[in-house]
């Protein structure tokens, strides 16, 4: 069966068509700058030439129809008919407290996605438009929602409650939800398999370090804590997100710079992180190059990033009263051996010891700790699209 995976972001749509017989990607692509002046599609049919075009896309509905056209196109298409698509798996940002697992989409599911617009104002509306566009183009094809928040729904109350007036939790469901759930779920399961851990007696910390970054503490296969919160802003220092700051910064900055709360939040989400600390880039390859040329701020930015990760790992070891395995994934986690080493060098108190040669490996599942290490340390490449496709297949 072929499964189409749709990931509608605030102004983008990423997609993959996956053949579930052998879990191979048949085609993938991205529509960018949706709703802006210069929207474009890049469609990669894997075994044929990549197709690129600038096409007006006022909304995600138009983007979805362009994706379907590209998949069916005579020259760069990979399908003869839409009937070949067995199901569509949609990444949905926020399922609130309602969904702790993926679900086949019906009117009720769409109502909940709509109810969560306030919690995911940039993504949930785009997700719903993507779902409805697919429904109208493929009325007989099952659609599945895979929520970014679902995996974290097993967190205990003590981990997800914010210590603010209780009525705001009751009235508005303000609490920690966590994100990157599909990745944390997929990777933590691989850690147990690959690391030969006992699924019912295991303590795992997953470090998803990409442009967006989050950690999760996973005990016996269930998430018990994670670093992102009500929104993806909380927690680690990221590419352009600040991560944890004193909430009073919002008021202080709004007053000093005469900004609205929305404007300050925009700064904390899009103009902060290692990009702001370094003044160079959000990309760790550029930060490394700048640091090598003697740029102190670039070096300091990476130091701060690593320090925050190390502190979160320490807090999750405390939360679980131990740790069996620590795993790195996503763009930085999979590729940046220097950052991995900096983090692991601060974990010698746990008995962590890594093999320098193995730590140079990129993009494959590998145990990078030495046999003497008291904690297994590994790299597990994440694959959110495949995880979404697997969940979709399992449900239909
Ligand atoms: P992601 O959000 O998971 O796609 O990760 C993207 C980020 O990974 C980029 O912004 C870079 O900071 C980082 N990254 C990707 N490739 C490398 C690499 N070879 N070395 C260091 N960092 C990398």
Cα 209 to ligand 1 centre (Å): 8
Nearest residue (by CA) to ligand 1, atom 4, is 331
Kind and range of the H or E element at 316? Answer: helix 296-320
Chain centroid to CA 285: 20
**Mean pLDDT, range 39-60, rounded to an integer:** 96
CA of 154 to the centre of ligand 1 (A): 29
Residue 62 scores a pLDDT above 90: yes
For the chain, percent of residues with pLDDT exceeding 70: 100
Nearest CA to ligand 1 atom 10: 283
Compute the mean pLDDT over every residue in the chain, rounded to the nearest whole number: 96
Ligand 1 pocket member 283 (CB < 6 A): yes
pLDDT grade for 188, boundaries at 50, 70 and 90: very high
Q: Cβ contacts of residue 100 below 8 Å, gap of 6+? A: 150, 153, 154
- Provide mean pLDDT across the span 157-165: 98
For residues 141-155, give the mean pLDDT: 97
Dist CA 378 CA 325 (whole Å): 8
Mean pLDDT over 59-77 rounds to 95
Beta strands at 85-92 and 2-8: parallel, antiparallel or unpaired: parallel
Q: Is the CB of 210 under 6 A from ligand 1?
A: yes
Residue to mutate (ligand 1; options 210, 333, 359, 384; most atoms within 8 A of CB): 210
Over residues 328-353, mean pLDDT: 97
pLDDT of residue 9: 87
Residue 313 is encoded by which pair of tokens? 């790992």
What is the C-alpha separation between 138 and 17, in angstroms, rounded? 15
pLDDT confidence of residue 32: 94
Report the half-sphere exposure of 89 (CA within 13 A, side-chain side). Answer: 28
Whose alpha carbon is nearest atom 9 of ligand 1?
283
239 C-beta closer than 6 A to ligand 1: yes
Q: What average pLDDT does range 280-297 have in this prediction?
A: 97
Q: What is the pLDDT of residue 121?
A: 84
Q: Which helix (H) or strand (E) holds 29?
A: strand 24-32
Nearest to 15 by CA among 54, 66, 49, 74: 66
Q: Residue 120: which pLDDT band, with cuts at 50, 70 and 90? A: confident
Question: Across the strands, what pairs with 2?
Answer: 19, 85
Q: Is the CB of 331 under 6 A from ligand 1?
A: yes
* Confidence at 246, pLDDT banded by 50, 70, 90: very high
Both tokens assigned to 35:
């709703």
- pLDDT at position 119: 87
pLDDT average, residue stretch 58-81: 95
Average pLDDT on 101-118 reads 95
User: What is the mean pLDDT of the segment spanning 34-59?
Assistant: 94
Residue 118 has pLDDT above 90, yes or no: no
């Amino acid at each position: 069966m072929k499964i189409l995976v749709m990931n509608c972001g605030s102004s983008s749509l990423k997609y993959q068509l996956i053949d579930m017989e052998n879990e191979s990607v048949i085609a993938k692509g991205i529509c960018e700058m949706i709703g802006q002046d210069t929207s474009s599609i890049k469609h990669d049919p894997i075994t044929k030439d990549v197709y690129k075009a600038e096409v007006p896309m006022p909304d995600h509905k138009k983007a979805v129809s362009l994706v379907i056209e590209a998949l069916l196109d005579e020259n760069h298409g990979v399908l003869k008919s839409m009937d070949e698509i067995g199901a569509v798996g949609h990444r949905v940002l926020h399922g609130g407290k309602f969904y702790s697992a993926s679900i086949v989409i019906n009117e009720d599911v769409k109502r909940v996605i709509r109810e969560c617009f306030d919690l995911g104002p940039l993504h949930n509306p785009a997700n719903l438009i993507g779902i409805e566009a697919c429904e109208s183009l493929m009325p007989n094809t099952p659609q599945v929602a895979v929520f970014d928040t679902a995996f974290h729904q097993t967190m205990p109350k003590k981990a997800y409650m914010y210590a603010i007036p209780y009525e705001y939790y009751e009235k508005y469901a303000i609490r920690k939800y966590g994100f990157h759930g599909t990745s944390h779920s997929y990777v933590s399961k691989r850690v147990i398999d690959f690391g030969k851990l006992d699924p019912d007696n295991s303590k795992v910390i997953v470090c998803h370090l990409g442009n967006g970054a989050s950690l999760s503490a996973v005990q016996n296969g269930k998430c018990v804590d994670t670093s992102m919160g009500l929104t993806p802003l909380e927690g680690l220092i990221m590419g352009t997100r600040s991560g944890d700051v004193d909430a009073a910064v919002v008021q202080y900055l709004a007053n000093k710079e005469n900004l609205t709360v929305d404007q300050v939040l925009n700064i904390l989400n899009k103009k902060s992180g290692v990009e702001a600390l370094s003044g160079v880039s959000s990309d760790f390859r550029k930060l490394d190059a700048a640091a090598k040329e003697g740029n102190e701020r670039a070096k300091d930015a990476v130091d701060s990033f690593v320090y925050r990760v190390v502190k979160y790992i320490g807090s999750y070891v405390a939360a679980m009263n131990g740790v069996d395995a620590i795993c790195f994934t996503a763009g930085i986690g999979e590729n940046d051996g220097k950052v991995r080493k900096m983090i692991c060098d601060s974990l010698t108190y746990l008995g962590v010891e890594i093999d320098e040669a193995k730590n140079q490996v990129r993009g494959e599942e590998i145990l990078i700790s030495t046999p003497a290490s008291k904690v297994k340390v590994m790299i597990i490449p994440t694959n959110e699209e495949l995880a979404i496709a697997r969940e979709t297949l399992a449900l239909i």
